[in-house]
Structure 1
């Protein structure tokens, strides 16, 4: 009899799509199938409208919560249909949900996409709301993926650094010394500022291969002003989100300049901000010859990857494809793993990463048929 299947759902800060994967963890990790479900433009607009305070928020939140639950369920059903996997073969779905607030300094975070709806429409037990138990234990509730990185990617021969570049960027430090704890934290913006800036000026959802950024010139004064933001020098554990890194912040920084810059030069500066903040975070750990592996949407940005390779010389920079897992599916697989841990009554957080008082089981379970 085959080992049970787990499904992971991830909708990140970039708001581009819902990633769904079907995986097994026994006897070893196996990616069985994957699917990317686009987020309709109307829902995308409503998500963006919830990212900041506004009128009638509770009504809008309740409706969007249900709509996203149905959209997550649709992603699961398409994944099953495309792969031939039957619902009764799936032990559980792990759904990250869509983050609309992440306020660790205030002790709360909120991800929506009603798991009751997912469980009802798919008939599959669904695990969701992974972050708040860690916060209740004094943690940041993020990042949670380093625990999965540790389980899947740790090496006894090489120091490894996993860099997830989604809307935000976070890194995981995996030292070859197995006695050293896994470390991880958010380094700052990943794609979020570049995506928002090109959307504002070219109505494009992202800068393909960083081509627009590559055609501009970095503005040193703007870059220096951005890098003095206290977040970058704070010691981990730390996490962040759109509450800090958004177009309003970029425009505030731009207004400090002596003259109005070209939009393309701001884009070039934002790419460097991401690359430099990631590089400085890695350098702070003084690792011996680490190998750096990128994952997430930013791993496809050729300009960003080249800049990281330049800044991190002579260390090797590649993607998690070299470790056997496509960089597009790492985060979704992580939430399948967190569901696997929850169903088996095992912890899902790493206290050294989030700052929680100890290991905790994560997620609430919504039973299926």
Structure 2
């Protein structure tokens, strides 16, 4: 039994910052196991957040420069973390930060140059986990379901609430997963307009009232009627959601309240549609920043009813599950095993995805 010591790096669409998780991952009795031994969340500076947020609008030259700058920055953060860790690691698995994601056009790009990350950190790097799947006609997302299947198989549903909400579950022996729609992205957009980083425990949202006109507009968005596999991101949010927020005349409290109800209605619809009727109570594991929002979780449990139990794990797993899964994907890549599932992405085949970089020896 070999234990991999891996640094998983994750930066999500919510632009909260960089998540770093030092994980031990091993296979025993044909099952994968893990421990998350140390973590860090590195906040983005205002300049870095704006740089990443607007990456989609950059010229090719400026985008290339950001790719390099961000790779070096990731390397610097990793090296500082490793130096403090005082323990050897085997490699770094980096998600990067998605700047472009238009899989129907064959386009996806994760910022964070892998070679510069390796050079700066002094460690082997596995990154760019989406490109191969997109080249195989897949959506290149979501990727976390391989971790749900291998590490969290005791749950009927795995729900992640980052900027976007996504879900995964087994259906007819295959792993199914897709982006449901919105989660923290609109909530953070609204709180940032209020001068706040986020709405702690959903206290502001809970004080608002439901606006039925806005709720109807949100629930009528065409994306929700698309069949899976499907994925979405900031482009959709920018084109479809921001105009609804900016065009609305209602208070920020009511906006937050309504968006949480909308999010939970769409999640509940997705879960109840595929709930295994053979079980009296299904278990749903909720992770990601949204799972820390008390009002969000209470509203979701109410929408789901008594037939689905929302399980909220410890805060470390809530916050660092995605970084853990990318660490696992790095292990699978180095072992030459499948780490992206065609049943999830719609690709023509499963794949062993990710590019490997070694630090320059000179």
Common fold by TM > 0.5? yes
Tell me the equivalent position of 1:105.
104
Structure 1 unaligned residues grouped into runs of 5+: none
**Gap change, CA 1:80 and 1:139, over 3 Å in 2:** same
Question: Would the aligned equivalents of 1:196 and 1:205 in 2 still touch at CA under 8 Å?
Answer: no
Question: Equivalents in 2 of 1:233, 1:226: separation in Å?
Answer: 12
Deviation at 1:355, TM superposition (A): 0.3
Question: Equivalents in 2 of 1:73, 1:271: separation in Å?
Answer: 36
2:54 to 49, 54, 71: 49
1:217 to 205, 209, 213: 209
Moved over 6 A (4+): none
1:347 to 338, 341, 345: 338
Tell me the equivalent position of 1:181.
174
Question: Would the aligned equivalents of 2:79 and 2:122 in 1 still touch at CA under 8 Å?
Answer: no
Tell me the equivalent position of 2:236.
244
Question: Would the aligned equivalents of 1:92 and 1:340 in 2 still touch at CA under 8 Å?
Answer: no
Tell me the equivalent position of 1:21.
21
Deviations 1:105-164 (A, max 9, x none): 222111101111110011211111110101111110000100111000113xxx511110
Structure 2 unaligned residues grouped into runs of 5+: 28-32
Question: Equivalents in 2 of 1:118, 1:81: separation in Å?
Answer: 15
Tell me the equivalent position of 2:87.
85
TM-score (norm: length of structure 2): 0.92
Between 1:138-147 and 1:325-334, the stretch displaced more is: 325-334
1:75 to 77, 82, 95: 77
Question: Equivalents in 2 of 1:254, 1:77: separation in Å?
Answer: 40
Matched, 1:261 2:250: yes
Q: In the TM superposition, what are the counterparts of 1:1-369 in structure 2 within 5 Å?
A: 3-27=3-27, 28-51=33-56, 53=57, 57-86=59-88, 90-155=89-154, 160-174=156-170, 180-200=173-193, 202-246=194-238, 249-253=240-244, 260-288=249-277, 289-314=281-306, 315-321=308-314, 326-368=317-359
Deviations 1:69-111 (A, max 9, x none): 122112322332332212xxx2221110011111122221111
Deviation at 1:274, TM superposition (A): 1.3
Structure 1 vs Structure 2 CA RMSD: 2.0
Question: Would the aligned equivalents of 1:293 and 1:319 in 2 still touch at CA under 8 Å?
Answer: yes
**Gap change, CA 1:215 and 1:348, over 3 Å in 2:** same
Structure 2 SS opposite 1:245? helix
Deviations 1:295-353 (A, max 9, x none): 0111101110110011111021122439xx62111000111111111111112111111
Structure 1 SS opposite 2:117? helix
Deviation at 1:255, TM superposition (A): 7.3
TM-score (norm: length of structure 1): 0.90
Report the number of matched residues. Answer: 351
Structure 2 SS opposite 1:124? coil
Question: Would the aligned equivalents of 2:175 and 2:343 in 1 still touch at CA under 8 Å?
Answer: yes
Question: Equivalents in 2 of 1:129, 1:251: separation in Å?
Answer: 29
Question: Would the aligned equivalents of 1:134 and 1:140 in 2 still touch at CA under 8 Å?
Answer: yes
Deviations 1:43-88 (A, max 9, x none): 111112223x35xx223212221221122112322332332212xx
Question: Would the aligned equivalents of 1:351 and 1:358 in 2 still touch at CA under 8 Å?
Answer: yes
